[in-house]
Amino acid sequence: MTIYDRKYLNLLREIAFTQFKLKDQSTFFGFLWGLLNPLVMLIILFSLFSTRLGKGIDHYPIYLLIGVIQYTHFSNCTSRSLTVLHSMQKLTSDTIFPKEVLVIGSVLSNTIEFILSMVACILIAAFSGINISWAFALLPLVVLMQLIVVTWVSLILSCLYVFVRDINNIYQVFLRLLIFITPIFYDISFLGHGASKYIVLLNPLAHLINFSRSIIIDGKVFSIEPLMIFLIVNAALLYFSFKIFKMYEPIFAENL
């Protein structure tokens, strides 16, 4: 690795930790809320949906918690990354360095909280009677895949926001819709074989949540074929989103 590469890796690390501290995670109560937030949402969803939609689903509280944690990470991470180029426009406009560092740093700062929440989820699952199996060793792969998805979405959104500020309002509406097209509080079999099932299957977050549930609740390794398809598709989307980002990077400064 060259000195040039190390310089930007150091910058990436500093940006990630700075943004992590700006979210009040450096204080005890800010850190505690980061872990309690998914649990509060879990309690609300459990009280609303456990009687009907949760019927027949093993370990439904853990089932819900996994979905809530992964949806919350996706929602918070992409929302914060969307505006990062504008909120740090001094660096974006006046400093020469790869601007994707700002976006990736924002993603990493939110992923620290995600990893801690997943660790808490595993501990809760263990205390609730779920057996810890060797399949748990594959959870870092799920975290990596979620990171890939969040990164390509964040690169596209941050680029769009430079030119279309209203995209923020549109995206918040989309996130409210995303709750219902992500199998957080229901099983995908509940949808039957209609068009709604295929809409959900197009949602990468649905597959990520199912991967985690397979590992944590069932103690099973997911099939290699859907895993490879997921990785190939989202690696391609990451590549093309990065190319689009770099294509428009030279004119970011004049549009901020």
Residue with tokens 């700075």: 18
CA distances (Å), origin 161, targets 153, 156, 174, 189: 12, 9, 15, 37
Residue 4 is predicted with a pLDDT of: 46
Residue 172 is predicted with a pLDDT of: 95
Q: How many helices (H) and strands (E) does the chain have?
A: 11, 0
What DSSP string describes 169-236?
HHHHHHHHHHHHTTTSSS-GGGGTTSHHHHHHHT-HHHHHHHHHHHHHTS--PPPHHHHHHHHHHHHH
Residue 56 is predicted with a pLDDT of: 76
Stretch 152-179: mean pLDDT, rounded?
A: 95
Check whether 41 has a pLDDT greater than 80: no
Query: How many other CB atoms are found less than 10 A from the CB of residue 178?
Result: 18
Check whether 185 has a pLDDT greater than 60: yes
Token pair belonging to 118: 């997943």
CA distances (Å), origin 177, targets 99, 145, 180: 30, 22, 6
Check whether 28 has a pLDDT greater than 60: no
Percent of the chain beyond pLDDT 90? 48
Between 241 and 44, name the one with better pLDDT: 241
Between 43 and 233, name the one with better pLDDT: 233
Stretch 1-12: mean pLDDT, rounded?
A: 60
**pTM confidence score:** 0.88
Predicted confidence (pLDDT) per residue in 47-80, tens digit: 766 667 767 788 888 999 999 999 999 999 999 9
Q: For residue 159, name the pLDDT band (cuts at 50, 70, 90).
A: very high
Residue 34 is predicted with a pLDDT of: 59
Residue extents of the structural domains in the chain = 3-255
Check whether 254 has a pLDDT greater than 80: yes
